[in-house]
């Protein structure tokens, strides 16, 4: 199957809801290996969450500074037709490198009842927007939690590094 293949399938979420799930992959510098790795990782995530992927969209060698990307535009057309109600991406930067653009886009997706999941960021619009009263609150909450996660990760890394250095010095 080539990178341009798209298979339309109606999918099941859990045992009750029917979902039309899409995966979106993007790399700025053309790199078939990176695109395939993103697809595999996102498909594994979807499988773990019991989401069957019906459509895969890939922009290989496309900048995240603009939404003018062929596969992204094709995915958005599918959203507008009602063919997609869930989008899974690796992280926010795969959609946009500009957080203001991402915020507007996520608000547009919310208005169209499209769930957005960014795997690396642990962001699920279904969870964030249910618990938040506005887009600003949701984004503020997301960045607060993400900053906390990165800080904890950085501290853990520093502790491991310190232990490694201490072990090397005692040898």
**Residue 111 and residue 131: Cα distance in Å, rounded?**
16
CATH of the domain at 24: 3.40.50.1390
**Is residue 5 included in any domain, yes or no?**
no
pLDDT at 60: 92
Locate tokens 């399938």: which residue?
9
Q: Are residues 91 and 148 in the same domain?
A: no
User: Both tokens of residue 90?
Assistant: 């690796």
Domain assignment of residue 3, yes or no: no
Q: How many angstroms separate the CA atoms of 100 and 171, rounded?
A: 51
Residue 147 falls within a domain, yes or no?
Answer: yes
Residues 26 and 62 in one domain: yes
Cβ-Cβ contacts under 8 Å for 153 (sequence gap 6 or more): none
Give CA separation, 28 vs 1, 64, 69, 144, 150, in Å: 22, 7, 11, 27, 24
127 in the same domain as 75: yes
Q: Distance between CA 89 and CA 64 in Å, rounded? A: 13
Tokens of 70: 């062929």
Q: What's the rounded Cα separation, in Å, for the pair 90 and 94?
A: 7
- 131-138 own/partner pairs: CB under 8 Å, 24+ apart: 135/103, 135/106, 135/107, 135/110, 138/106
Residues 99 and 162 in one domain: no
**Residue 156 forms part of a structural domain:** yes
Q: Classify residue 4: in a domain, yes or no.
A: no
135: CB partners within 8 A, 6+ apart: 103, 106, 107, 110, 129
Instruction: Determine, yes or no, domain membership for 74.
Output: yes
Task: Examine the domain organization and report whether 74 and 112 are in the same domain.
Answer: yes
Among 2-6, 67-71, 72-76, 152-156, the range scoring the smallest mean pLDDT is 2-6
25 and 72 in a single domain? The answer is yes
Number of domains the chain contains: 2
Q: pLDDT by residue (tens digit) across 82-126? A: 999 999 999 888 998 887 888 889 889 989 999 999 998 888 888
Residue 145, domain extent = 133-171
The pLDDT confidence band at residue 137, using thresholds 50, 70 and 90, is: low
* Whether 163 and 82 share a structural domain: no
Whether residue 2 lies inside any domain: the answer is no
For residues 83 and 166, membership in a common domain is answered with: no
Domain identity same for 140 and 89: no
Average pLDDT for residues 2-19, to the nearest whole number? 38
Nearest alpha carbon to residue 21 among 32, 11, 7: 11
- Do 74 and 139 fall within a single domain? no
Tell me how far CA of residue 98 lies from CA of 72, 118, 139, 145, 163, in angstroms.
15, 15, 13, 19, 38
Residues 55 and 119 reside in one and the same domain: yes
Same domain, 15 and 92: yes
In a domain, 166, yes or no: yes
């Amino acid at each position: 199957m080539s990178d341009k293949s798209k298979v339309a399938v109606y999918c099941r979420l859990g045992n009750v809801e029917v979902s039309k799930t899409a995966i979106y992959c993007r790399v700025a510098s053309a790199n078939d290996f990176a695109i395939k790795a993103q697809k595999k990782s996102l498909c594994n995530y979807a499988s773990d969450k019991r989401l069957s992927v019906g459509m895969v969209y890939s922009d290989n060698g496309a900048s995240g500074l603009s939404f003018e990307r062929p596969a992204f535009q094709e995915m958005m057309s599918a959203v507008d037709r009602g063919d997609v109600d869930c989008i899974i991406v690796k992280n926010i930067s795969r959609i946009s490198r500009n957080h203001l653009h991402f915020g507007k886009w996520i608000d547009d997706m919310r208005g169209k009842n499209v769930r957005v999941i960014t795997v690396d960021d642990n962001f699920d619009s279904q969870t964030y927007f249910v618990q938040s009263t506005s887009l600003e609150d949701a984004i503020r909450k997301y960045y607060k939690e993400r900053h906390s996660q990165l800080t904890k990760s950085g501290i853990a890394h520093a502790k491991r590094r310190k232990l490694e250095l201490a072990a090397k010095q005692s040898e």
